[in-house]
Amino acid sequence: MNKLSCTLLIISLVTILIIITVDSAFARSFNNDFETGDLTDWEKTGTAFDFQPTWGDNPTARNRGQPSQHEGDWWLGLAERYQGPDKGAKLGQKPGDMQQNAQGGVAPDFPQGTLTSIEFEIIGDTMNFLIGGGNRPWDSAEPCCVNLVIDDDVVRSITGESHESMKRKEWDVSDLKGETAQLVVIDMSSGGWGHPNFDDVHQADASGENIPWDRVLSVNARGKLAVSWAQMKKYY
């Protein structure tokens, strides 16, 4: 091997090592289930998410008869105003407390806002999640839904079934592989059932096996917090 070839080989190996090191450094998990107890990895607008995520089965705590069916301890329940036995207790909150209006009265659907995730690459065949709350579609006047957004375009959207209990739902995203996307939780209604519930989102492979988020984010982990309601509303 001549000197030039040897030099090129060394440069190539160093480049590969740098890429691997950088990707490993940026690879991390995503707050896909809100088990951090806060909105890490998400950016909010408005006031709907000021007391989110919520802790525990709050609908059951107030005898609603519609258990939340959330995973873990924390979830997005946009009618709820209880942030757990530590923070919630310090704020004078109790299990089952609900959102309020500007006068401090109980008004579970009053606040409005959006919550936008970091960017991530779609590498799975499907996305699955827990969804509940109101049935107010994205193309309605006052949407309450969860959207999948690519380049400012809403490519998937889903609502609850006017029930507090969340159900496991799924999108086929096989045609979107390689695209960079964000999730946006929308609460733009103060009317009846004007709130979504959301939790525990995953990408899954063709066999239905959930893909670890650190693997997803190692593909494209330099995400941005971008799309706002003002940017998005022109698309419905």
Do the bridges between strand 180-187 and strand 42-46 make them parallel or antiparallel, or are there none, so unpaired? unpaired
If asked whether residues 1 and 114 sit together in one domain, one would say no
If asked whether residues 128 and 14 sit together in one domain, one would say no
**CA end-to-end span of the chain, whole Å?**
62
If asked whether residues 144 and 179 sit together in one domain, one would say yes
If asked whether residues 57 and 15 sit together in one domain, one would say no
pLDDT for residue 218: 81
Phi and psi at 4, nearest 5°, equal -65, -45
Phi and psi at 59, nearest 5°, equal -55, -40
Radius of gyration of the chain (CA): 21
Peptide bond into 53 cis (omega under 30): yes
How many domains does the chain divide into? Answer: 2
Question: How far is the CA of 5 from the CAs of 91, 173, 196, in angstroms?
Answer: 67, 44, 60
pLDDT in tens, the chain (236 residues): 565 555 545 444 444 443 444 444 455 789 999 999 999 999 999 999 999 999 999 999 999 999 999 999 999 999 999 999 999 999 999 999 999 998 899 999 999 999 999 999 999 999 999 999 999 999 999 999 999 999 999 999 999 999 999 999 999 999 999 999 999 999 999 999 999 999 999 999 999 999 999 999 985 544 444 444 444 443 33
pLDDT for residue 1: 55
Q: Which domain covers residue 63, as residue numbers?
A: 31-235
Query: How far is 200 from 58, CA to CA, in rounded Å?
Result: 17
If asked whether residues 145 and 208 sit together in one domain, one would say yes
Q: Which residue's entry shows tokens 């109101």?
A: 134
If asked whether residues 124 and 12 sit together in one domain, one would say no
For residue 112, the domain's CATH number is 2.60.120
If asked whether residues 100 and 1 sit together in one domain, one would say no
If asked whether residues 10 and 96 sit together in one domain, one would say no
If asked whether residues 23 and 36 sit together in one domain, one would say no
Enter the pTM of the model: 0.83
CB within 8 A of 42, min separation 6: which ones?
31, 115, 116, 117, 118, 225
If asked whether residues 217 and 194 sit together in one domain, one would say yes
If asked whether residues 40 and 117 sit together in one domain, one would say yes
If asked whether residues 24 and 103 sit together in one domain, one would say no
